Amino acid sequence: MGVGQEIFRYKYETGENSYLLILFSIGSSISGLGIQTWRFKLCPNMTQRSVCPRIRGIGVATPSSRFTQEEVFSLSGYTNTRIRKIFLNSDIDYRHFYFEDAPTHAEDSNQLNERFLKGAIRTGCQAIRSCLTNAGMAAGDVDLLIVCTSTGYVCPDIGSRLIGHMGFRRDIQRASIVGLGCAGAIPSLQRASDFVRAYPGRTALVLTVEICSACFYVDDTLETAVGNAICADGAAAVLLSTASSNESCHVGIVDFQSFLDPNQLDQVGFHHRQGKLRIVLSNEVRNLAAPMLQSALEVLLQRNSLNRSDIGFWIAHPGGRKVLDNVQKHLGLTDDQTQFSKHVLRNYGNMS
């Protein structure tokens, strides 16, 4: 969703009135490795406004502590020159991490989980406030709160804890989406879209928040080194409704499409080691993303009577330099078409 905000900012600065957009993400789920694609149209004169879920506001937040890749490498405890090259050749300049005290790589599992909880609440609240402000709405206007995360587990969940922090109504509906990894944002958005379609006039808020630094784990494998080299902390929130408004521009969500391959379940995710979350990030992910995206994309475009040339802007989850490069090459996209994803990767890293 952070990439989406870059698209919206570009639109407002350039004054463009209408475009189509595809958003996709790749990650693990109970069904296997999955691709989600999302198409929406931005148009001031959209037809069927009363039944079309529309994005009323977006908010993003990152912790205040920002580090260069060289700084993160020094803090991580690595000394291997090969791993240092991975950090510095990632096309990432900066990442944000949630720390209350001086950063250390010596935290135990209890400390990591406590940092996840505090970071998710604080960063999530910031994203929600920004979203509500942008929408010109209050917490009391929200009917459904969906919270998506993969980098920690707490009970009561993050959403329940946010009710008191944010002043949500006591009768608000809640849903938690946990463990979908990089693919989690789009299924969460789809559930919110389903809700406002089913209950016209009601409002749904989706929060995705990840404190990836709370999953810090070091061993002698390359996949943990890559994960530690690219992942970062952040949150994004989006507000949906079908209610009419006097806003000059409305983002309408049109369609979704998934593609799941259960045979690839072990390629990406987390394992538990000594009470900590250890990233699973196969080297094959960079090659799997583009063909799987192609499978979902073809169905989505055909169902909506569209060609690739009809898509004015593309959003790709900034999962890493090689993932983005392979997707760009496979789909024949230009540097201009992937500029927003690469901008977010360079300045924030992979926040999922």
Tally of domains in the chain: 1
144-149 and 203-211 beta bridge pairing: parallel
Q: Sheet with 32-42: list strands edge to edge.
A: 173-178, 144-149, 203-211, 233-241, 54-61, 251-261, 32-42, 19-29, 313-316
Place of tokens 């630094």: 213
Rounded to an integer, the average pLDDT of 95-121 is: 92
Length of the chain counted residue by residue: 352
How many Å apart are CA 8 and CA 130, to the nearest integer?
15
40 has pLDDT over 80:
no
Q: Is 62 exposed, middle or buried (0-12, 13-18, 19+ CB in 10 A)?
A: buried
- Show the DSSP H helices in the chain as ranges: 2-14, 69-76, 81-88, 109-135, 158-166, 185-198, 222-230, 285-303, 321-331, 339-348
How many Å apart are CA 188 and CA 176, to the nearest integer?
9
3-state secondary structure of 246: coil
The residue that leads in pLDDT, 5 or 66, is 66
Positive or negative CA dihedral for 14, 332, 297, 283? negative
pLDDT digits (tens, 9 = 90+) for 211-241: 999 999 999 899 999 999 999 999 999 999 9
The encoded tokens of residue 58 equal 């977006």
Predicted local distance difference test score (pLDDT) of residue 103: 78
Q: How confident is the model at residue 290 (pLDDT cuts 50, 70, 90)?
A: confident
Which residues are bridge partners to 161 per DSSP? none
pLDDT digits (tens, 9 = 90+) for 148-169: 999 999 999 999 999 998 999 9
Predicted local distance difference test score (pLDDT) of residue 48: 44
Predicted local distance difference test score (pLDDT) of residue 222: 92
Q: What percent of the chain has pLDDT over 70?
A: 84
How many Å apart are CA 87 and CA 202, to the nearest integer?
45
Rounded to an integer, the average pLDDT of 78-107 is: 92
Predicted local distance difference test score (pLDDT) of residue 244: 63
Predicted local distance difference test score (pLDDT) of residue 33: 44
Mean pLDDT computed over every residue of the chain: 86
Q: Report the candidate in 84, 15, 54 with the shortest Cα–Cα distance to residue 240.
A: 54
Q: What's the pTM value of the predicted model, to 2 decimals?
A: 0.89
The encoded tokens of residue 190 equal 């789809």
The encoded tokens of residue 257 equal 């499409």
Rounded to an integer, the average pLDDT of 14-21 is: 51
Domain that holds residue 57: 1-352
3-state secondary structure of 217: coil
Contacts of 13 (CB under 8 A, 6+ apart): none
pLDDT digits (tens, 9 = 90+) for 184-199: 988 999 999 999 999 9
Q: Report the candidate in 24, 21, 19 with the shortest Cα–Cα distance to residue 187.
A: 24
251-261 and 54-61 beta bridge pairing: antiparallel
Q: Report the candidate in 278, 287, 348 with the shortest Cα–Cα distance to residue 318.
A: 348
Predicted local distance difference test score (pLDDT) of residue 296: 87
How many Å apart are CA 318 and CA 331, to the nearest integer?
16
Structural Rg of the chain based on CA atoms: 19
27 has pLDDT over 60:
no
Q: What is the CATH number of the domain that holds 78?
A: 3.40.47.10
How many Å apart are CA 22 and CA 38, to the nearest integer?
5
Predicted local distance difference test score (pLDDT) of residue 21: 58
pLDDT digits (tens, 9 = 90+) for 234-288: 999 999 998 765 544 667 888 898 888 888 888 889 999 989 999 998 888 888 8
Q: Report the candidate in 131, 93, 324 with the shortest Cα–Cα distance to residue 235.
A: 131
The residue that leads in pLDDT, 247 or 58, is 58
Predicted local distance difference test score (pLDDT) of residue 265: 85
Predicted local distance difference test score (pLDDT) of residue 116: 97
87 has pLDDT over 60:
yes
CB 150 within 8 A of CB 227: no
The residue that leads in pLDDT, 233 or 36, is 233
